[in-house]
Amino acid sequence: MARPSMVPMRGHPSTRREFFAQSAVIAASVCTTRPRQTLAINPRSTKPLGALAPSLMAPEQLRQIARTAIDAAVHAGAQFADVRVAERRSYAQMGLTDRVRVALRVRVADREAAALLGDASPEHIMAAARDAVATARTLGNLPPALPLVSMPVVTGEWRAPVSIDPFAISPNDHEFVRESFDLGGIPYTRLTRSRVVSTVCQFEWHAETRVFASSEGSMVTQYLAGAIPAIWLLRSAWRSEPLSGESVYVRAPGLFPMTAGFEAVIGAAPRARFEAAINEASEYGSYPMGVMDVGRHPIVFDGMLSASLIGNALLPALTLSRVLGYDANMEGVSFLPPPTSSNAPPSLSRHLSLDVAPETPHWGAARWDDEGVVTQPVRLIDQGTIVEYLSTRGTGGAVAEWQAAQHRPAAVPGVAFTFDTPLPRGLAPATVVAPAPAGPSLPDLLPQMSDGLFAWGGGVAVDEYGLGGTIFGGLLLEVRRGRIVREIAASRIEFSTLTLLRNITMLGGPASSQTSEVVVDGGIPWGRASISVAAPALGFKEVNVMSNRY
């Protein structure tokens, strides 16, 4: 975890004449960009994606935009300013999107304002900086913003390691690989038993040049990369009519968001993981159908469902801005109380340990977060005890008293993240639930439970407060004496989040771990982002089984 220190302010143009003279030089080197470029790509083109749609801006142009924004904000009267400038290129399903975003934050006399721009022309940047400073000055009747946690000045560059650049690959080759993940070569009898009638393959590729700069003197450039391969298995609910009735999509395990290039989907390993998912669907989907009695029953989640639970229910509760109530009118609040020296966070199951994983090949790997804080592995929960929150420089000061009570200096974990929002938020792109080092595999967990339920695949949906939720999709199976006996239909699983997390009774080993993609929303304006969570299979004391029969 990066530790704070006092940092000096760097020099800025001191006169109006000097400022505009310098801005004129900068403007001459920065082109006026299109805020968004979306192109339909011929899937059979043999030209590389990069040749079909060249990048909008060079890295030096993005750095010049950052300097323009900081200088304009300081000249307008900001005591502090930082900016995030990024060009993000995305390719999926024969469509390529290229866009530039500028997110500026300013502080004037302990009041904070921000601006989000899709037009990176100098005149728009300077106007937005002036407007943000003017807005901050009008907020004098509101409570002041928390002081920023001071951090060291950072400079430099970092590039995500990628073996095969997906934007150097032609659309024809992209489609060839995507279409290779189909049901060809898999025995028909196995598909009939599992009721898998088709697959839906969706591969997304991201490349981003991201610049962070601040009035404190920081300036870093990062070249980030991401792959989101996803394969969904379409299962029919009724064996007698495989293409009718209620159907369900189950995301195949083994393919998940990661920091990687095209190597993520080629070779023997990705195909082997896909076929392993078919084998699991065949095994778990071949049992007779039945109906479960309503009531409370023990349950085992597979790794993907456990990861979905952590990502959708627990991580939002650990976001400090939600804990403090700052997001009450946006994405919601937290079921965890604000930590103080006399009010410790509630304890969870001793089986639960959770870490931030900012290193490659985890999704969202970067050297610095969106506030210029160095990213490092950080433990959030240690054997059921909450030891850190997802905080930023803007919210980290609120837990200084709690950190001091634990004999720790004030610090932030390097998890500030911006997704189409002007202000960075505490959001870890990748987290990992620690498995039991010598723990059991998924099949070995079921005999330990003896009687109960087993949930494979699917996801978790929670209410806006995170107090409770339900399971959707996937397979729900009944276990008797440690063996699966039937698939359960017409039932719904509900749970209380805090009760469920306090009553983890079994922890799977490394072989049971899976990684799941979780889509999060938040901010003003509303933005969306993907994060990844890895977790082993988990066993719980009980969940509520409700009937869907009418």
Could you report the per-residue pLDDT of 292-321, keeping only the tens digit for each? Answer: 888 999 999 999 999 999 999 999 999 999
Please say if the pLDDT value at position 486 is more than 60: yes
User: With b meaning 16 or more CB within 10 Å and e meaning fewer, what string describes 160-173?
Assistant: bebeebbbebbbeb
pLDDT tier for residue 45 given thresholds of 50, 70 and 90: very high
Is residue 70 predicted with pLDDT exceeding 50? Answer: yes
Residue 32 has pLDDT above 80, yes or no: no
Residue 116 · residue 421 · CB < 8 Å: yes
Task: Indicate if the pLDDT at residue 477 is higher than 50.
Answer: yes
- Give residue 16's pLDDT: 47
Q: Of 82-86, 415-419, 435-439, 484-488, which range is least confident?
A: 415-419
Cα gap 328→334, rounded to integer Å: 9
If one compares 282 and 133, the residue with the highest pLDDT of the two is 133
The reported pLDDT for the residue numbered 79 is 96
| pLDDT exceeds 70 at position 42 | yes
Residue 27: its pLDDT value, please?
35
275-304 CB burial, b ≥16 within 10 A, e <16 = eebbebbbebbebeeeebeeeebbbbbbbb
Of 137-151, 205-219, 405-419, the range with the lowest mean pLDDT is: 405-419
Q: What percent of the chain has pLDDT over 90?
A: 51
Q: What is the mean pLDDT of residues 40-62?
A: 91
- The pLDDT score that the predictor gives to residue 180 is 82
Q: What does the mean pLDDT of the chain come to?
A: 84
How far apart are the C-alpha atoms of 327 and 320, rounded to whole Å? 10
Residue 421 per-residue DSSP state: S
- Work out the average pLDDT over 414-420: 83
What's the whole-number mean pLDDT along residues 223-236? 84
**pLDDT number for residue 249:** 60
Q: What pTM did the predictor assign?
A: 0.87
Q: How confident is the model at residue 250 (pLDDT cuts 50, 70, 90)?
A: low
Instruction: Of 1-15, 71-85, 369-383, give the lowest mean pLDDT range.
Output: 1-15
Pick the more confident residue, 522 or 32: 522
From CA 385, how far away is CA 147, in angstroms rounded?
Answer: 27
| Among 175-189, 313-327, 428-442, the least confident range | 175-189
Q: Which of 18-27, 78-87, 436-445 has the lowest mean pLDDT?
A: 18-27
pLDDT, mean of residues 140-165: 92
Question: Above 70 in pLDDT, residue 28?
Answer: no
pLDDT at 62: 96
- Does the pLDDT value for residue 364 go beyond 50? yes
**Residue 190: per-residue pLDDT:** 52
Average pLDDT over residues 43-60: 91
More confident residue, 442 or 418: 442
Query: Averaged over 478-500, what is the pLDDT?
Result: 90
* Rounded Cα–Cα distance for residues 425 and 193 (Å): 46
pLDDT bin (cut points 50, 70, 90) of residue 26 is: very low
- Segment 400-417 mean pLDDT: 80
pLDDT of amino acid 327? 82
CA torsion angle 397 77 63 209 (round to 10):
40
**What does DSSP say about strands 289-291 and 483-489: parallel, antiparallel, or unpaired?**
parallel
Q: Give the per-residue pLDDT at 230.
A: 84
Distance CA 218, CA 9 (A): 10
pLDDT exceeds 70 at position 78: yes
Average pLDDT, integer, range 66-91: 95
pLDDT band at 182 (very low <50, low <70, confident <90, very high): low
pLDDT at residue 341 in the model? 59
pLDDT of the residue at 195: 63
Of 98-107, 369-378, 460-469, 519-528, give the lowest mean pLDDT range.
519-528
- CA separation (Å) from 493 to 67, 448, 460, 468, 516? 52, 21, 10, 11, 20
78, 75, 79, 97: which is closest to 88 by C-alpha?
97
pLDDT at 238: 47
Of residues 289 and 152, more confidently modeled: 152
What is the model's pLDDT at position 208?
95
pLDDT of 23 strictly over 50: no
CB within 8 A of 199, min separation 6: which ones? 181, 182, 183, 231, 232, 233, 234, 252
Q: What are phi and psi of 98, to 5 degrees?
A: -135, 125
- Determine the pLDDT at residue 273: 80
| Count of positions (residues) in the chain | 550
Q: Which tops the pLDDT comparison, 489 or 325?
A: 325
Cis-peptide, bond into residue 525, ω within 30° of zero: yes
Predicted local confidence at residue 430, as pLDDT: 95
Tell me what pLDDT residue 329 has: 76
The torsion region of residue 331 among left (phi > 0), alpha (psi -120 to 50) and beta comes to alpha
Of 525, 529, 530, 531, the closest CA to residue 103 belongs to 525
pLDDT of residue 31: 36
